[in-house]
Amino acid sequence: MDSKGDEKRLLRADLRRLREDKFLSESWIHIVHCPEIQASRVIASYISYGVEPQTSDINQSLIASGKTVLLPRTLPNKDLEWVAWDGSTNSLKKNGKVLEPTGTTFNDEAAIKVVIVPALVVDHEGNRMGQGGGSYDRALARLNAWKIALVGAHEITHLALPTEPHDQKVDAAATPGLLMRFNRGAADPL
């Protein structure tokens, strides 16, 4: 291996195959009851696609409870900006494989207190591996928010993930039956 980047590319390909093989359509709705989410008015989330952990019920529940839900929109430089979303599919447009919001950029990033983050795997230190574009790492570096990754039951690993200086850790990871907070070092079974 020449670099951490090469190591991460190979691992990412293996993780994608494993996710496709083990994917079950489940719900991560339990995270809406986390104290961090309950106490937040503005929450950044995403719209899942394919075999990603499903976010549609989470997003709709947050909107129904009066929270401001922000979705990411990819900029030409691969960074992310956030747009408030009302739950309407009419306000979304396809960008590659993902649906992104149309509308005005939400400029008050300091108001974002929780970010629900996609991940392929998370290790026990809170290191996450995403799809490899670095968009979330750029955005997370700017936010002073509680970061929670959604992963499958088999996608929390005790093995340390390869990391690079730009990689951003998450504060917690959720599977359909577990919430693990890394800052406390404890797992909260549901």
pLDDT in tens, the chain (190 residues): 458 777 777 766 676 777 677 767 788 999 999 999 999 999 999 999 888 899 999 999 999 999 999 999 999 999 999 999 999 999 999 998 889 999 999 999 999 999 999 999 999 999 998 876 779 999 999 999 999 999 998 889 888 887 888 889 999 999 999 999 996 444 444 4
Contact 113, 36 (CB under 8 A): yes
Q: Which residue type does 154 have?
A: H
Q: How far apart are CA 112 and CA 158, in angstroms?
A: 30
Sign of CA dihedral 92, 62, 28, 138: positive
Q: How far apart are CA 125 and CA 106, in angstroms?
A: 31
Instruction: Tell me the whole-structure pTM to 2 decimals.
Output: 0.86
Which class would CATH give 4-117+126-184? Answer: alpha beta
Contact 114, 148 (CB under 8 A): yes
